[in-house]
Structure formats: C-alpha cells, structure tokens
A and B are shown apart, each in its own frame.
Chain A
C-alpha cells in the first residue's frame, strides 16, 4: 500500500517521474535531475546509480547504497536538496560534493571574498550579471576551482548560507 501523504520521520523513495507521484508535493527523480541540469549544467549521468529519498518536509537525501526498507533507519546517505518551496536549494555539502562540474549559475570568488563567504558574511557583488537565486560558489584552491557551497544572490548582494556550525574564520589566501 502506498502512502498518500508525506510522513516527516521516515524515508520514502522519490517516484521516478511526476506521473508516478502518489504523495502530493513530493518531487520526482526526473524533476530533481532536470533541475540540477537546468540550473547548474550538471548532467543527469552524474547521479546515475544514486537514489533519492524524502524525509522531513521537502528534504531530499542522496544515497549510493542498498536499502530495502529504510523506514526505520536514522539516515541514508546525505542531505542533498530542499524542495517543497518556490526556489529549490541544494545543501552546502551537496554543492561541495557535486558542484565542481557545474557550468551555469556558478560564481567564482577572489580570496578575500571566499574568506568572507566561509565566515558566513553577506557581501555586495555588483559585477554579477547572471541569474538571481541560489548559486554554486567557488574559489581557486590548490590549482583548481573548489566548491564552497551555496550562496543566495539577490539585489546585488551574495548572501552566504553556510550553516552556522560550518562557518569558519579562515586565512585569505595570498595570490601575489
């Protein structure tokens, strides 16, 4: 018997497509894959082999193992994406883990900006002429771009949405 409503305390697998949806408001796998592709240019093949699950209102988890009945476990995989809101939001850790291949809506920060972002500070970003909303934020580290997580760009300002427990006052890397 399939449940018709979302139950916050258990994991339920996302339906493959919107047509197979039985729980109102639940994102489908197809929509999740399309969203990462359209928003960040991260192709669906990236997530082949992973399964997606909802626990809590709109919180989508990504899992790479075997789970038959994950209704009585504490966690599977890692949190990935917040749905059931107008603008979906990747988690910081998902953006770090999967964001490095993003080609759209990626904002690269200089060393000072990166340090402000990691500390959780909002900052003015007048040069950005891309989309508003959630962006993948990167900086150069050890020769390559590394994803710092997710920022929210609105009205010329990049808001750091690094969770409080993950913020750090870090050194400004000297590029001279």
Chain B
C-alpha cells in the first residue's frame, strides 16, 4: 500500500486545461435549445460507437480518458448504454455489417441527442471510402452535429469537437 501511495504522491496532478470550442467543426445548425445545451455541458454522458474503425480512433479516445485531459473534471463521462447517453461519439467509416447496430444505438439514445463523428473515416469515409462493405461517412447513416477530422485526431482535437457540440453560445442560431 505504501508503494501505491508513494507513486500517487510522486505523480502529483498532471491535468491540463481544456481547449476552446471550434465553430468550424460544426456540421449542421444546432437543433437543441441553448438552455438544454448549457445543462448538458455541465454533465455530459457519451456512448462511443465504433462503426467500422481501424481502432486507431479508439486508442485516442482511450487516451482522452487519461489524467492529462481530466475529462470527468469537465463533467464528461463515457456510459455503457446509448439509453443513458446524451451524445454518440462515432468512429470509422460505417461498415455495412455495423449499419443496423448503429441505427439501433441512435434510436435508443433519448432525444435531444448529439452526434460527433470522429476521424477522417467518420467525416468523409476516409481511406476506406464507400464500397460493397462500407457506407462511408457517418452522416450517410445518421445525422451528425460535429465532425472531428484527423487520422486519428489527437485527444485534444476530439475533446474540442465534444465541447463544440455542447457549446450553447451558437445554439438556437
């Protein structure tokens, strides 16, 4: 036990400041009222869905949960069920074999809901494109609010995309 405590003390606090939102990432006009967004922004539950990614984006979403980014300190947490989620964080081109599961997850997420597409594949289909096995970008299957390009995007870029989606400032137009 003493070793664990010593290691914790030695490590100290490593958390860094969160990035500001970036309006350029917004893919469509917000449908959610400003006051709801203000509420969500303080306690956001995210369900991550890998719809066909190479797993690179998942690694950076894992990294987003490391102590540097202090996600829970911002009120953001990842949940196990879409029924508990305010936001779907979707990676990958949507593999046709995942298309039904992604639609079911989206329908199971209570309204009002947000969708953030993560990575070049989620934004455009990326290197995999559209094919017999791939529907291409996430917006081809479900409505997308914010896109985060990158292959894979850094944890900071993903966090910026999430924060952009819940920023009340631009909400309501």
**Bound together:** no
Q: Name A's B-contacting residues (CB within 8 A).
A: none
Q: B interface vs A, CB < 8 Å? A: none
